[in-house]
Copies of this chain bind each other. A is one copy, B any other.
């Protein structure tokens, strides 16, 4: 991240001025707007990395501005407000705001929250979970809940599928016995590790070429199991 752009939306000039000074001193590029419509326009034009938004705007309600932004952008929004009421905070946060700071605020705190917001959004991520997982000889469709081995469809029972699904959704990762038992059988079965042995054996018999020397459904003794592609 080179230089983050902050869009400041407030109708009180002295607040805008204070923020502009402090933010540019910290190396942020600062864009300002005095009302809601101008804010939405400015956001579309400048694509800010974070928005600081006062709720008390002359033309639009603050939550409308949030909704207007959220319609097309996931930019972090930090709400400023004179009102510290809980209902107000809840509404703003549920409308899509990321943080809520009550006026009067400490500049240090606002800057820290700003840093936190920018840091978060700069961690980009693509969706890692694919609908269908392939391993060369086995294919698992997580949505249709169908499993094929060498092209032929394999029938799995509910429990078998529960185990396999959890392992495949975490393929490559180790899944602890406790987690498997908790998620598939329920919290009261956390110690019934015997079930896992039975069901892993069944899954291996159905999916592995050599069930006695599994390539996908791997046991990590004492810890859990993992699905390898």
Chain A interface residues (CB < 8 Å from chain B): 45-46, 74, 76, 86-87, 89-90, 93-94, 96-100, 106, 108-109, 111-113, 115-116, 119-121, 123-130, 143-146, 157-159, 161, 172-174, 176, 178-179, 220-223, 226
Q: List 5 A-B contacts (CB under 8 A).
A: A76-B120, A86-B106, A90-B112, A98-B116, A99-B116
Separation of A73 and B76 alpha carbons in the complex (Å): 20
In addition to A144-B226, A145-B173, A145-B220, 11 A-B residue pairs with Cβ atoms within 8 Å of each other are A94-B112, A94-B115, A99-B99, A100-B113, A120-B124, A125-B126, A126-B127, A127-B127, A128-B129, A144-B173, A146-B173
Number of copies: 2
Separation of A121 and B129 alpha carbons in the complex (Å): 15
Separation of A111 and B87 alpha carbons in the complex (Å): 12
Residue from the list B46, B74, B96, B111 in contact with A179, Cβ < 8 A: B46
Residue of B nearest to A155 (CB): B220
Given A74-B123, A94-B112, A158-B221, check contact A45 B129 (CB 8 Å).
no
Residue of B nearest to A222 (CB): B158
Residue of B nearest to A117 (CB): B98
Given A144-B174, A145-B220, A157-B222, check contact A108 B127 (CB 8 Å).
no
| Chain B residues whose C-beta falls within 8 Å of the C-beta of A172 in the assembled complex | 144, 146
Residue of B nearest to A74 (CB): B123
| Chain B residues whose C-beta falls within 8 Å of the C-beta of A158 in the assembled complex | 220-223
Q: How far does the Cβ of A152 sit from chain B's closest Cβ, in whole Å? A: 15
Residue of B nearest to A158 (CB): B222
Given A90-B112, A129-B126, check contact A143 B173 (CB 8 Å).
yes
| Chain B residues whose C-beta falls within 8 Å of the C-beta of A129 in the assembled complex | 126, 128
| Chain B residues whose C-beta falls within 8 Å of the C-beta of A226 in the assembled complex | 144
